[in-house]
Chains A and B, each alone.
Chain A
Amino acid sequence: METISLLKQLTEAVGIAGREAPVRALITQLWQPLVDEIREDKLGSLIAFKRGADTSAPKLMLAAHMDEIGLVVTGIEEGFIRIARVGGTDRRVLPGLEVTVHGREELPGIVASRPPHVLSEEERKSPVPWDKLFVDVGLPAAQVEALVSVGDFISVRRETVELKNRRVAGKAMDDRAGVAAITLALEHLSYMRHSWDVFAVATAQEETGLKGAITTAYGIAPDLAVALDVTFGKHPGVSEPGVWPLGEGPTIGIGPNFHPRLAARLREVAEAHEIPYKLDPLPGASGTDAWAIQVSREGVPTALIGIPLRYMHQPVEMLAAQDVERAGRLLASFIAGLEADFLKKLAWDTPTDESERRQ
């Protein structure tokens, strides 16, 4: 599918952490024709299986999280809805935001803001605190009480738009961009031979603590895993290092979360296929599904492909469609090139080619 319409479809779908059903249905529909089997696990992650050519081949897990951050109803006061966050929602972008309250019915709402006319100098100087943020669904109090309950989830309502230079902005690019990259990789793989078994996973509840990655990695028990997630894009106000320009390729993570020889293989593949990339040094927790998968069962060699994203956790998350396409191509080329005995090359007691040469 054309990348920008794929991104638009995926990002406009709703799927707050723990309530991923709508986006899961969409991904099921997208992946079904590209894989051999598809199932859900008990936490709601989606696991698609694509058989490899080699009957005794090892298992590769791909993970991108399908959940998005959002809000939850904590109370109703005079018909206005009090809110708290689900995942790392940034209160600085909430006033004036259009949302959907998932009550007994789907209710369009607005995060209330007090107009500048009535604010004191003091109030203008700081972002609205959580206890002064309300969602307004424009209905009389009695009707709100009847339709909305404490614990109902609230999602951001935002149309995804295409900007200049194939840049795309909207909500939930984190991490539907990763889901899109896996989708593109699966499309490529339908024309390519691969010996390994591939488990493509759209994980649940990443934003609330990598929960879907924990259970799916256990369930699949992969021999190798690659997570796809967004990484920080460069724009005014953020300072280097650790932020990446849009449109200059995906990143490959290096650091304790990643098997160095697996990361090296990704680099070799990128170079062989002339796919531009950057190395993203992550000195500790990567904050992605890769962090949980790496320590599943007896341990899993893990890698991370990052897609640079501006304005993370804001309703205007922006990326370059080219970077998603490159991540998809890198992933597919990597998978197609995996030899049946690749695992041997990752064993810590096996010398690398370089150390062999040195001997």
Chain B
Amino acid sequence: MMLKELSEATGVSGDEENVRSILLRAIREHVDEVRVDALGNILALKRGTTQNGLRVMLAAHMDEVGLMVVGHDGDGFLRVRTVGGVDPRLLPGAALEVGPDHLPGVIGIKPIHLLKSGEEQQVPSIEDLVVDIGATSKDEATKLAPPGTYITFATRFREGSITVSGKAFDDRAGCAVLVEIVRGERFPFDLHAAFTVQEEVGLRGARVAAYAIAPNCAFVLEGTVADDLPKDKDSSPTTRLGHGPAITLMDNTFIAHRGLVRLLTDTAEALGIPYQFKQPGIGGTDAGAIHTSREGVPSATVAVPCRYIHSPVSLLNLDDFNNTITLMREALARLTSSTLRSDL
């Protein structure tokens, strides 16, 4: 399964090589042109069946959040900082993979038995946490994991009947959806697939990818927040698992193009595909960078709802995943230049 392979690959922002090589292998035979740009984005072209002049960009980011080694202490522990939005509260007790050789490492904290009154209410800061790889001296630790070494969660993909779990579904779920679309039939227009780098540290890859592609419109494929736990007052459910692909109307980085949103919802309704709107106001995606590229790019974001993103293990619903692929394929097949009118 593509999603399993992608989820288990390590690829923290700036170190996407493992993910990139999986994706290049997966799409090479299904595209007409493919190149890797200066920042490491994969830019692939699948020509259209007609010469209608439309250039449609589909983007999914390859990178994931993680940690980076920034120093070592005298007893062989690694000092680290977060890369992207990692909640330090999820680090105590975590199992990790350190560096290119995937050395096992762990993060532990002061045992519960030794806490002073009030300490159990404190969240250790990233400055206080260390990664333990079993090294016994500063020299050994520095040799095994020099400064700059990337660290990811060590999480295996798990396949259930209804849901699957694994790390980095944000955005390997989007990457897996995009691979399926690239591997499918040609569309009437030229399809430009971009697997981007460095989304988690500020949408860096998408910015230059959009400039290079200069698309007429763009769709960003994501694994997005599903915060659907029971709550006292459920004011912000973001998205819900099992309720279909999530279409963004507006988030912290952009406002979706109405024509593209309408294309997506009309397609879903015509075909009876369930869909949901991601509640406005939370998060951001590569669309934030793409829609302001050059003179502007009409953009939309479609996402697979994922619980527990940015944590050691996330969870998605397979129906949502497959419906995202179907919805994207069918919507793209219906896309024409009039979809992009600004007077909708």
Contacts and interface: CB of A to CB of B under 8 A. Distances in A.
Are A and B part of the same complex? yes
B133 A164 contact: yes
Pick the most buried of A136, A159, A236, A247: most chain B CB atoms within 10 A of its CB: A236
A163 B109 contact: no
Contact of B165 (A119, A138, A161): A138
A138 B110 CA distance: 32
Contacts of A124: 87, 89, 123
Nearest to A157: B158
A30 to B, nearest CB: 25
Given A162-B104, A163-B105, A316-B94, A238 B227 contact: no
B130 interface: yes
Nearest to A90: B112
A237 B77 CA distance: 12
A192 interface: no
Contact of A136 (B93, B120, B307): B307
Contacts of A126: 121-123
B89 A314 contact: no
Nearest to A169: B106
A178 to B, nearest CB: 17
A21 B238 CA distance: 42
Interface in B142-185: 144, 154-155, 158, 160, 162-165
A29 interface: no
A346 B256 CA distance: 82
B163 A139 contact: yes
A291 to B, nearest CB: 14
B236 interface: yes
A265 interface: no
A195 to B, nearest CB: 38
Interface stretch (B260-268, B308-316, B335-343): B308-316
B53 interface: no
Pick the most buried of A77, A114, A158, A164: most chain B CB atoms within 10 A of its CB: A164
Given A110-B308, A124-B89, A78 B109 contact: no
A: interface residue count bin: 35 or more
A117 B283 contact: yes
B114 A238 contact: yes
Interface string A214-251: 00000000000000000010011110000000010000
Contacts of B103: 163-164
Contacts of B165: 98, 108, 110, 138
A113 B77 contact: no
Nearest to B161: A139
B109 A314 contact: yes
Interface residues of B, number: 64
A315 B104 contact: no
A86 interface: no
A164 B160 contact: no
Contacts of A165: 134-136
Contacts of A93: 92-93, 109
Nearest to B167: A96
A102 interface: no
B73 interface: yes
Contacts of A113: 87, 89-90, 308, 311
Contacts of B87: 113, 115-116, 119, 124
Nearest to B110: A237
B95 interface: yes
Interface in A90-120: 90, 92-98, 108, 110, 112-119
Contacts of A80: 229-230
Given A88-B112, A140-B162, A237-B128, A110 B123 contact: no
Contact of A313 (B112, B134, B315): B112
Given A92-B109, A138-B162, A313-B112, A236 B73 contact: yes
A220 to B, nearest CB: 28
A267 interface: no
B108 interface: yes
A313 B121 CA distance: 17
A161 to B, nearest CB: 4
Nearest to B65: A116
Interface in A139-169: 139-140, 158-159, 161-167, 169
B108 A161 contact: no
Interface string B60-101: 000000000000010101000000011101101111000000
A47 to B, nearest CB: 28
B111 interface: yes
B333 interface: no
A115 B307 CA distance: 8
Pick the most buried of B158, B225, B230: most chain A CB atoms within 10 A of its CB: B230
Pick the most buried of B107, B108, B122: most chain A CB atoms within 10 A of its CB: B108
Contact of A98 (B77, B163, B313): B313
B115 to A, nearest CB: 9
A134 interface: yes
Contact of A311 (B75, B86, B106, B163): B106
A128 B38 CA distance: 42
Pick the most buried of B87, B106, B307: most chain A CB atoms within 10 A of its CB: B106
Contacts of A194: none
A235 B135 CA distance: 12
A354 B50 CA distance: 102
Contact of B108 (A158, A235, A247): A235
B242 interface: yes
Give 10 closest A-B pairs by Cβ, nearest first.
A311-B108, A163-B134, A93-B93, A138-B163, A164-B134, A316-B106, A167-B134, A312-B111, A161-B104, A96-B311
19 contacts: A78-B230, A96-B313, A113-B308, A115-B308, A115-B311, A116-B87, A118-B282, A126-B122, A139-B160, A140-B242, A163-B133, A163-B134, A164-B134, A232-B114, A236-B77, A314-B111, A315-B93, A316-B108, A318-B106
Given A114-B229, A311-B111, 17 more contacts: A80-B230, A97-B93, A98-B155, A98-B312, A108-B158, A108-B160, A110-B165, A110-B307, A112-B308, A113-B308, A115-B308, A117-B85, A117-B309, A124-B87, A136-B307, A169-B95, A238-B111
